[in-house]
Amino acid sequence: MQPARTLANDSPDTRRLVLIVDDNIDHLAFLRVAVGTRFRVATATNGLEAYELACRVRPDVILLDLVMPILDGYALVQQLRANAGTAATPVVFVTGLDAPALGTLPPRSTVLRKPCHQGEILAALLGVLPP
């Protein structure tokens, strides 16, 4: 896959790609703006759409809401881990769920609690990516 080109100077956009998955359109827009200066962004509004997109575009990292229609974040992560092409993709979870509900996440998961701020979102994404 060729890097996207910018219109300003036609040079390749070498920023890493983050796939943002959230069924709340307002929160999805906020996350897109929060990371868009540092990352290229792809978005999905449910887990099934996100899985298909992740298999196609191979994001560097996924920013994932847990509670969504069609395929929730928990099931999406299981499918991603079962696919050789996406198994190693880092995932940062974004949720409003209470701590007891998070017990089923994989060990050492990176979890951001809603509401979160741009600095903590970027720090979490950069923290799970290799240098």
pLDDT tens string 53-90: 999 999 999 999 988 889 988 899 999 999 999 999 99
Write out pLDDT tens, residues 82-126: 999 999 999 999 988 765 455 566 656 788 888 899 999 999 999
- Cβ atoms of 70 and 47 within 8 Å: the answer is yes
In the structure encoding, which two tokens stand for residue 85, read together?
């092409």
Domain ranges across the chain: 17-128
Q: Tell me the CA end-to-end span of the chain in Å, nearest whole number.
A: 21
Q: What is the CATH number of domain 17-128?
A: 3.40.50.2300
Mean pLDDT value across the chain: 87
Query: In 25-117, where does DSSP find H-type helix?
Result: 25-36, 47-57, 73-82
Cα 26 from chain centre: 16
pLDDT for position 34: 96
What interhelical angle do 47-57 and 73-82 show, nearest 10? Answer: 30
Question: 130: pLDDT confidence band, cut at 50, 70 and 90?
Answer: confident
Q: What pLDDT does residue 15 have?
A: 93
